[in-house]
Structure 1
Amino acid sequence: MLSDALKKTIRKIHQQVADNLTDYKPRKSQNYLVAEIAKTLSGEYHKSQRICVMEAGTGTGKSLAYCLGALPYALANKKKLIISTATVALQEQLIEQELPFFAKNSGLDFQFDLVKGRHRYACAQKLKASLIEEPEQLGFMPLLKSPLSEMEKKCLEQLVSAYTTSKWHGDRDAWADTIPDKVWNLVAGDKHSCQRQLAEHQHCPFHKARNRLAQMDVLVVNHSLLLADLDLGGGKILPEPSKSIYVIDEAHHLPKITRDFSSASATVKGTLEWLDKLAKFNQKLSNTISTQRAIGMNFKLADAITDTQKELKKARDILDGLDITYNEDDVYRFKNGELPELLTNLSKDLSDSSHLVSKHLNKMHEALVLDVNDGDVKPHKADPILAESGVYIQRIENLNKLWNNLTKGTSSSPHARWITQQNYKNHHDHLLADSPIEVGFYLKDKLWQECAGAVLCSATLTALGNFDHFAFESGLAGEEGVKFLKVPSPFDYPEQAQLLLPDIKCEPTDKNFTKRLIEAMPDFIKKEKANLVLFASYWQMKEVAQGLRTKGYNLLLQGESSREYLIKQHKKNIDKNKGSILFGTQSLSEGLDLPGKYLENLIITKIPFAVPTSPMEEAQTEHVQNKGGNPFLSITVPEASKKLVQSCGRLLRKEKDFGRIVILDRRLISKRYGKAMLDALPPFTRKIEY
Structure 2
Amino acid sequence: MLTDEVKAEIQSAYSAFLAQKKYKSRYGQRQMIAEFARYLGGIESDSNGNRKSKHKVCVVEAGTGTGKTLGYCISAIPLALNKKKKLIISTATTALQEQIVAKDLPDIVKNSGLKFKFALAKGRGRYICLSKLETQLADDGEAQDSLPLFMIENGLGSPDNKPLYQTMFAAYANQQWDGDRDKWPDNIENKAWSLITTDNQQCSNRRCSYFHSCSYYESRKLLEDADVVVANHDLILADLSLGGGVVLPAPEETIYVFDEAHHLADKALGHFAVHSPLKGTQNWLKQITKVFSELLPFIKPSSRLQKTVEEISNTAQPIHSKIEELYQQMELSLDWDANDDKFGQKPVQQRDNQVLSRFSEGLVPDELKAITSELLKLFISLCRLVDEINNDIIRSMDEKSDASLDKEDSERWFPVIGSILSRAQSYQDLWRFFSVDDVKGQPPSARWAVKKIFDNHEDIELFGSPLMADNLLYSRLWSKCYGALLTSATLTSLGNFHRLTNKTGLPEESAYLAVASPFHYSDVATLCLPAMKSDPGNSADHTEELIELFPSFIEGHQGTLALFSSRKQMNDVLDGLPGSLREQIISQDEMSKQEVIKEHKRKVDEGGKSVIFGLASFAEGIDLPGDYLTNVLIAKIPFAVPNDPIEAGLSEWIESKGGNPFMEITVPEASTKLIQACGRLLRTESDYGQVTLFDSRMMSRRYGKMILESLPPFKRKY
- After TM superposition, is the score higher than 0.5? yes
Name the counterpart of 2:306.
295
- What amino acid sits opposite 2:28 in the alignment? S
- What amino acid sits opposite 2:120 in the alignment? L
For residue 553 of structure 2, the aligned residue among 517, 524, 533 is: 524
- What amino acid sits opposite 1:232 in the alignment? L
Q: Offset at 1:122? A: 1.0
For residue 176 of structure 1, the aligned residue among 150, 173, 185 is: 185
Cα distance in 1 between the residues matched to 2:658 and 2:595: 48
CA contact (8 A) 2:33 2:75 kept: yes
Name the counterpart of 1:189.
198
CA contact (8 A) 1:318 1:343 kept: yes
> Is the aligned partner of 1:261 residue 2:267?
no
Q: Offset at 1:149? A: 9.1
Name the counterpart of 2:343.
none
Name the counterpart of 1:637.
667
Q: Offset at 1:151? A: 6.3
Cα distance in 2 between the residues matched to 1:436 and 1:103: 42
Cα distance in 2 between the residues matched to 1:269 and 1:517: 44
- What amino acid sits opposite 2:632 in the alignment? L
- What amino acid sits opposite 1:624 in the alignment? I
Alignment of 1:333-372 (within 5 A): 333-372=358-397
Cα distance in 1 between the residues matched to 2:226 and 2:498: 36
> Is the aligned partner of 1:484 residue 2:495?
no
Query: What 5-or-longer segments of structure 1 have no aligned partner?
Result: none
Name the counterpart of 2:104.
98
Q: Offset at 1:637? A: 0.9
Q: Deviations over 1:158-178 (max 9, x none)?
A: 223322333222111111111
CA contact (8 A) 1:119 1:188 kept: yes
Moved more, 574-583 or 376-385: 376-385
Name the counterpart of 1:43.
42
CA contact (8 A) 1:55 1:461 kept: yes
Moved more, 539-548 or 129-138: 129-138
Cα distance in 2 between the residues matched to 1:108 and 1:524: 49
Cα distance in 2 between the residues matched to 1:280 and 1:562: 40
- Cα gap change, 1:603/1:253 in structure 2, threshold over 3 Å: closer, same or farther? same
Cα distance in 1 between the residues matched to 2:693 and 2:190: 41
Cα distance in 2 between the residues matched to 1:149 and 1:528: 53
Aligned residue for 2:603, secondary structure, equals: helix
Name the counterpart of 2:222.
212
Cα distance in 2 between the residues matched to 1:585 and 1:378: 55
Name the counterpart of 1:401.
429
Cα distance in 2 between the residues matched to 1:330 and 1:82: 42
Moved more, 487-496 or 601-610: 601-610
Q: Offset at 1:281? A: 2.7
Aligned residue for 2:225, secondary structure, equals: coil
TM-score (norm. length: structure 2) = 0.90
Name the counterpart of 1:27.
26
Aligned residue for 1:330, secondary structure, equals: strand
Alignment of 1:592-603 (within 5 A): 592-603=622-633
- Cα gap change, 1:289/1:365 in structure 2, threshold over 3 Å: closer, same or farther? farther
- Cα gap change, 1:3/1:384 in structure 2, threshold over 3 Å: closer, same or farther? same
CA contact (8 A) 2:137 2:162 kept: no
Moved more, 301-310 or 120-129: 301-310
- Cα gap change, 1:281/1:67 in structure 2, threshold over 3 Å: closer, same or farther? same
Q: Offset at 1:146? A: 6.7
CA contact (8 A) 2:559 2:631 kept: yes
Cα distance in 1 between the residues matched to 2:355 and 2:29: 51
Cα distance in 2 between the residues matched to 1:192 and 1:590: 35
- Cα gap change, 1:34/1:147 in structure 2, threshold over 3 Å: closer, same or farther? closer
- Cα gap change, 1:149/1:562 in structure 2, threshold over 3 Å: closer, same or farther? farther
Q: Offset at 1:141? A: 6.1
CA contact (8 A) 2:136 2:158 kept: no
- What amino acid sits opposite 2:88 in the alignment? I
Aligned residue for 1:512, secondary structure, equals: helix
- What amino acid sits opposite 1:470 in the alignment? L
- Cα gap change, 1:631/1:130 in structure 2, threshold over 3 Å: closer, same or farther? same
Aligned residue for 1:109, secondary structure, equals: coil
Name the counterpart of 1:16.
16
Name the counterpart of 2:258.
248
Name the counterpart of 2:61.
55
> Is the aligned partner of 1:222 residue 2:232?
yes
CA contact (8 A) 1:155 1:183 kept: no
Cα distance in 1 between the residues matched to 2:5 and 2:297: 65
Cα distance in 1 between the residues matched to 2:691 and 2:237: 38
Query: What 5-or-longer segments of structure 2 have no aligned partner?
Result: 45-51, 337-346
Name the counterpart of 1:390.
418
Q: Offset at 1:640? A: 0.9
Q: Offset at 1:668? A: 0.9
Name the counterpart of 2:89.
83
Q: Offset at 1:87? A: 0.6
Q: Deviations over 1:299-351 (max 9, x none)?
A: 55454444534433432342243242254332211111111212212333322
Aligned residue for 2:195, secondary structure, equals: helix
Q: Offset at 1:519? A: 1.4
> Is the aligned partner of 1:576 residue 2:575?
no
Identity across the alignment (%): 38
Cα distance in 2 between the residues matched to 1:663 and 1:89: 28
CA contact (8 A) 1:118 1:206 kept: yes
- What amino acid sits opposite 1:27 in the alignment? R
For residue 650 of structure 2, the aligned residue among 616, 620, 637 is: 620
Cα distance in 2 between the residues matched to 1:132 and 1:109: 47
Number of aligned residue pairs: give it.
685
Cα distance in 2 between the residues matched to 1:239 and 1:140: 39
Q: Offset at 1:75? A: 0.6
CA contact (8 A) 2:494 2:707 kept: yes
CA contact (8 A) 1:136 1:144 kept: no
Cα distance in 1 between the residues matched to 2:220 and 2:156: 33
Aligned residue for 2:577, secondary structure, equals: helix
- Cα gap change, 1:252/1:543 in structure 2, threshold over 3 Å: closer, same or farther? same
Cα distance in 2 between the residues matched to 1:107 and 1:295: 64
Cα distance in 2 between the residues matched to 1:608 and 1:484: 26
Name the counterpart of 1:120.
126
Aligned residue for 1:276, secondary structure, equals: helix
CA contact (8 A) 2:21 2:111 kept: no
Moved more, 342-351 or 30-39: 342-351
Name the counterpart of 1:316.
327
CA contact (8 A) 2:135 2:157 kept: no
CA contact (8 A) 1:141 1:186 kept: no
Q: Offset at 1:208? A: 1.6
Cα distance in 2 between the residues matched to 1:143 and 1:482: 55
Alignment of 1:396-545 (within 5 A): 396-410=424-438, 411=440, 412-476=442-506, 479-510=507-538, 511-545=540-574
RMSD: 2.4
- What amino acid sits opposite 1:687 in the alignment? K
- What amino acid sits opposite 1:488 in the alignment? A
Q: Offset at 1:469? A: 0.8
Q: Offset at 1:28? A: 1.2
> Is the aligned partner of 1:662 residue 2:668?
no
Q: Offset at 1:426? A: 4.5
CA contact (8 A) 1:285 1:364 kept: no
Aligned residue for 1:166, secondary structure, equals: coil
Cα distance in 2 between the residues matched to 1:213 and 1:321: 54
CA contact (8 A) 2:445 2:466 kept: yes
- Cα gap change, 1:53/1:112 in structure 2, threshold over 3 Å: closer, same or farther? same
Cα distance in 2 between the residues matched to 1:652 and 1:168: 39
Cα distance in 1 between the residues matched to 2:579 and 2:543: 15
- Cα gap change, 1:563/1:136 in structure 2, threshold over 3 Å: closer, same or farther? farther
Cα distance in 1 between the residues matched to 2:253 and 2:317: 45
Cα distance in 2 between the residues matched to 1:178 and 1:169: 16
